[in-house]
Amino acid sequence: MNQPETVSPSKPIVLTIAGSDSGGGAGIQADLKTFQAFGVFGTSALTLITAQNTLGVQQVYPLPPEMIAAQIEAVLSDLPPQAIKIGALGQADIIGAVAEALRGVDVPVILDPVMVAKGGASLLDPAATKALIHGLLPLATLVTPNLPEAEALGTALDGKNVLLKGGHAAGETVMDCLRWQGQASLLTAPRQYTRHTHGTGCTLSAAIAAGLALGLELPQAVADAHAYVARAIAAAPGLGRGHGPLEHAVRPERIGIDSAAER
């Protein structure tokens, strides 16, 4: 029997494990468009299907955990990624299946916890939150919570690399804080007063994963991703009657992080 040909990849591969947004602004759709913008090859494992648009989410259908695990295994066995991004998982058994499927995988993992919606509603019940803390946090190279999610995770984030997203805070300047290897660095951008910000968290974490797959150190990958999201918001196509999507086709530009302060 002929053995499959081994081919050296022509570009880095990134795997996203997340939900589907039928409106195309967040989730798997945003991740794959972001990967394309950064010049990496995107693969995916779908965790849940949503019926949603810019006005909100109408329905959510979680996929069976065994099917999610099968997707991950299929990708890992033939298209081994250089980085992994994890997004919306929804419930404890899905979180457990993802954690088990990734056990022993030695590549950077970016975890966007997707625990609290923009309006403040909880997206994970207590059992799922516990599964996230004990099953996935130990596997994460970087966790990217917003302020309500960081509050919910509390001391579970101690000792982890964390990018705390400051978009929920008031003020003319949006400040994100990267805690990495005992240092803290601020990333700032002027606040853009627009309703077209749907999918910013998904896009940010996907862009970080892409940067790591391209061989960047974590602080530079975060800085590039932060700049990319700001440009994608500014170039938003103005679609929909609610919270519209970003323009993922903008070209990423490299910038530096503000001076780090030791903690």
Token pair belonging to 50:
């949503």
What is the value of pTM for the model shown? 0.92
Write the CATH number for 181: 3.40.1190.20
pLDDT tens string 115-158: 876 655 567 888 999 999 999 999 999 999 999 899 999 999 99
The Cα-based distances of 140 to 86, 118, 133, 134 in angstroms read: 9, 23, 10, 11
pLDDT tens string 44-99: 999 999 999 999 999 999 999 999 999 999 999 999 999 999 999 999 999 999 99
Bridge partners of 57, per DSSP, are 52
Q: Containing domain of residue 55, as a range? A: 13-262
DSSP per residue over 147-159, as a string?
Answer: HHHHHHHGGGGTT
Q: Is 52 a domain residue? A: yes
Q: Is 213 a domain residue? A: yes
Q: Is 7 a domain residue? A: no
Token pair belonging to 76:
């890992």
Q: How many domains does the chain have?
A: 1
Q: Is 6 a domain residue? A: no
Helices 200-213 and 218-234, packing angle to 10 deg? 140
Q: Is 159 a domain residue? A: yes
Catalytic residues: 165, 197, 199-202
Q: Is 131 a domain residue? A: yes
Please give the residue that has the higher pLDDT: either 206 or 124.
Answer: 206
Q: Is 76 a domain residue? A: yes
Bridge partners of 44, per DSSP, are 16
Angle at alpha carbon of residue 254, lines to 212 and 183, rounded to 5°: 60
- Rounded to whole angstroms, how far apart are CA atoms 174 and 178? 13
Q: Is 3 a domain residue? A: no
DSSP 232: H
